[in-house]
Chains A and B, each alone.
Chain A
């Protein structure tokens, strides 16, 4: 197929060509950015928590007298342990995707004025570290001798584990083991590094802060009570949690189960990411509608062109052009127009991304999205032009001899 005559013909339909180019360009720009937003959301929803979610549940009790906290812990641990299918019950202050309990700013020395980050402290009683199923990449996990009583929400001093993400933020390039983080004027020495551990309420401070967590071993007591980590055999988690809620009514009739926070981790994760899923769903809707509308526009204009050039097509057919020649002509024409649109659209896409980057703190659009978007639009264009082009190819040569 020669391109020269197609271009020459396009020059005679400047306005219509320009409109399709504009439409493709806009579609390309919106498409690339919307897909990028969706990818961001999907990545967030799939974020690893670092714990064995499928076998864990949280249980939160309220309405008890703080003076009775120690007694309550003992009753709950003893009472729930014997539920069939329960692997362990332990005291903890928060679970991933649940309510945050120990959020505080930390410093790197006692005298430092500057807070280097707001992090979440998981304060866990005996057995909780093992129950979570965390992976230690260097150093060691907590032992019984590491556990001390909690003062207000943290022990006065304790050896702790930090996530790799937090360690990289605090001591880039250095071995975190042995370093000390300070919360108010209390020191916490790092004894181990965790592969992953998501904060309870994710990362309010942006994606990179989502794993700024610290695990602190501690002894249950007045200030560490009321939230429990249940670990069950994976298939039995839902039933075990149901049994546990029922049994609480018997072993501690005076307390109230906070149903919202007493859920399995899969349920908590599901609720936590509802907004992101809703946003992604809406974006998918916009993209589908956008592609549909763009395709409709191409079908409409090409149909018009075909109708206008009926006689011209008849002449060409009479002069020996085959059906496939006519078909290819319209396909080539569409390919050229869409290509112009894509070039313009790429510029526009980067412009929009730049705007989003400054106003909504989005990352830069990866270059890969542009060829992908181009392929989609080329495909869409060819699909849209097919029906009108086939109709054009069906024009019989005899049209050329008829007067209109």
Chain B
């Protein structure tokens, strides 16, 4: 029966090619616009590090004075750590893996003379960084906690930077000039680019951008006064190592929920002890432990513009669907005569309903295919945009399937009312008129 209805539907669509293409176009436009925005949102909110995300947590302390505004134009200053707090958390060693870090850009000098130096972004981190996030080394290794203490001039290069500086990756032991200092290369990592760059300071909204090209010890960066990017806030005199200056990020890896609970309690206890010392002024209960995905939600990485565009696109889809309802209604009711003949020959109302339903679904499938094409074009245009997240906007298989499904479901839903209306046509009245 289905094949018969499909045949009928195909004939009917071929009979009015203009109306059919209008319907397919309307569905295609609506679906294409919504899927473009949904895909962008999907890639922006996906898990950047699926293999480890369940175990990664971001501790949060609140060292701000009681009257300090907790939100400025760039975010919450207490989202970052002060040097003493970060070091205390690392020293307490309550987590399996842990590291403190900050981002920065430096001038990198090519080894060949005469070539221009260039700015490159990287991360200053404590020794645990590589194990914490599971980075793979192509050559060599990271540095140790002892190197951290000694403020050693060591650096780990990414594959890309090693290639750019040396033209090869077996460069362990060689020196490279970054800023005004020389560093010895201890290792080269495979390129590592989680998107969004979840571990970085979220205030720059640039967390979908370029990945880290080098890693060097945090204490060394501090020693050399290398520039630090991101949200930095201070509320009293004293430099970066003072307890009145937030600029660091801390990540920990915890095995299970029980360990996470214990760690959170540790944070509250730490805050309470700092409050007793007179350092913290806000309640210890402000201490928190965010799971990675929760932290990303808290950072609000998805710009408002994008959400607005999604709502617009969905509104547009609704308009298109209402349009489909109108066009299908016109199409089906025009065939009242045909319906009457079929009904008079013994077709039940349900049969008519199913027949028109199949036709609506066919329109939906065609519209879905067009929608996929339009969405691909839309994503291409998004990738041409200057926003930092733009280049990650690509459709994956699940979104592709969702596009077609959404189109069919949408047009089935839209076809329901006209099909029902057509199935209610009184056969006798129509036949008499003929």
The residues of A with any CB-CB pair to B shorter than 8 Å are 15-16, 19-20, 22-23, 26-27, 29-30, 34, 37, 62-63, 65, 105, 113-115, 118, 184, 204-205, 209, 256, 258, 271, 274-275, 278-279, 282-283, 286, 289-290, 293-294, 296-297, 300-301, 303-304, 307-308, 356, 360, 404
Q: Tally inter-chain residue pairs, CB-CB below 8 A.
A: 115
Residue of B nearest to A296 (CB): B22
User: Across chains A and B, which 9 residue pairs bring their CB atoms closest together, nearest first?
Assistant: A304-B330, A297-B323, A204-B73, A19-B326, A274-B386, A205-B73, A300-B327, A113-B67, A26-B319
Asked whether any CB of chain A lies closer than 8 Å to the CB of B305, the reply is: yes
Instruction: For the complex formed, measure the closest distance between the CB of B194 and the CB atoms of chain A, giving whole angstroms.
Output: 24
* Contact, CB under 8 Å: A296 / B313: no
Instruction: For the complex formed, measure the closest distance between the CB of A356 and the CB atoms of chain B, giving whole angstroms.
Output: 7
Chain B 65-122 residues near chain A, CB threshold 8 A: 67, 69, 72-74, 107, 116-117, 119
Asked whether A304 and B305 contact (CB < 8 A) given A19-B326, A23-B322, A34-B312, the answer is no
Q: Give 9 A-B contacts (CB < 8 Å), ordered by A residue.
A: A63-B117, A65-B180, A113-B67, A275-B385, A278-B386, A296-B26, A300-B327, A303-B330, A404-B434
Asked whether any CB of chain A lies closer than 8 Å to the CB of B421, the reply is: yes
Complex: how many Å from CA A211 to CA B72?
A: 17
* Contact, CB under 8 Å: A286 / B386: no
* Contact, CB under 8 Å: A286 / B327: no
* Contact, CB under 8 Å: A118 / B72: yes
* Contact, CB under 8 Å: A19 / B319: no
Instruction: For the complex formed, measure the closest distance between the CB of A281 and the CB atoms of chain B, giving whole angstroms.
Output: 9
Instruction: For the complex formed, measure the closest distance between the CB of B245 and the CB atoms of chain A, giving whole angstroms.
Output: 13
Asked whether A26 and B330 contact (CB < 8 A) given A63-B117, A360-B308, the answer is no
Residue of B nearest to A299 (CB): B22
- A303 surroundings in chain B (CB, below 8 A): 330
Asked whether A62 and B305 contact (CB < 8 A) given A22-B322, A30-B316, the answer is no
Asked whether any CB of chain A lies closer than 8 Å to the CB of B29, the reply is: yes
Residue in B72, B309, B312, B323 whose beta carbon sits within 8 Å of that of A23 in the complex: B323
Instruction: For the complex formed, measure the closest distance between the CB of A66 and the CB atoms of chain B, giving whole angstroms.
Output: 9
* Contact, CB under 8 Å: A26 / B333: no
Q: Which of B25, B73, B334 has the most CB of A within 10 A?
A: B73
Where chain A touches its partner, the secondary structure class is: helix
Instruction: For the complex formed, measure the closest distance between the CB of A112 and the CB atoms of chain B, giving whole angstroms.
Output: 10
Interface flags for B18-58 (1: CB within 8 Å of A; 0: not) read: 01001001100110010000000000000000000000000
* Contact, CB under 8 Å: A293 / B26: yes
Asked whether any CB of chain A lies closer than 8 Å to the CB of B155, the reply is: no
* Contact, CB under 8 Å: B322 / A297: yes
* Contact, CB under 8 Å: B326 / A297: yes
- A279 surroundings in chain B (CB, below 8 A): 305, 309
Complex: how many Å from CA A22 to CA B325?
A: 11
- B434 surroundings in chain A (CB, below 8 A): 404
Q: A30-B315, A63-B117 are in contact. List 15 more A-B contacts (CB 8 A).
A: A19-B322, A19-B325, A23-B322, A23-B323, A30-B319, A62-B119, A204-B74, A275-B387, A289-B29, A296-B25, A297-B322, A297-B327, A301-B327, A307-B334, A360-B307
Asked whether any CB of chain A lies closer than 8 Å to the CB of B318, the reply is: yes
* Contact, CB under 8 Å: A275 / B305: yes
Chain B 188-245 residues near chain A, CB threshold 8 A: 237
Residue of B nearest to A27 (CB): B319
Complex: how many Å from CA A271 to CA B385?
A: 12
- B329 surroundings in chain A (CB, below 8 A): 15-16, 19, 301, 304
Interface flags for B320-346 (1: CB within 8 Å of A; 0: not) read: 101101110111011000000000000
* Contact, CB under 8 Å: A286 / B313: yes
* Contact, CB under 8 Å: B320 / A293: yes
Complex: how many Å from CA A105 to CA B119?
A: 29
Asked whether any CB of chain A lies closer than 8 Å to the CB of B398, the reply is: no
Instruction: For the complex formed, measure the closest distance between the CB of A246 and the CB atoms of chain B, giving whole angstroms.
Output: 14
* Contact, CB under 8 Å: A283 / B312: yes
Q: Which of A209, A275, A282 has the most CB of B within 10 A?
A: A282
Interface flags for B152-181 (1: CB within 8 Å of A; 0: not) read: 000000000000000000000000000010
Instruction: For the complex formed, measure the closest distance between the CB of B378 and the CB atoms of chain A, giving whole angstroms.
Output: 9
Residue of A nearest to B387 (CB): A275
Residue in B72, B312, B323 whose beta carbon sits within 8 Å of that of A30 in the complex: B312
- B315 surroundings in chain A (CB, below 8 A): 26, 29-30
Complex: how many Å from CA A282 to CA B327?
A: 27
Instruction: For the complex formed, measure the closest distance between the CB of A344 and the CB atoms of chain B, giving whole angstroms.
Output: 12
Interface flags for B399-434 (1: CB within 8 Å of A; 0: not) read: 000000000000000000100010000000000011
Instruction: For the complex formed, measure the closest distance between the CB of B299 and the CB atoms of chain A, giving whole angstroms.
Output: 16
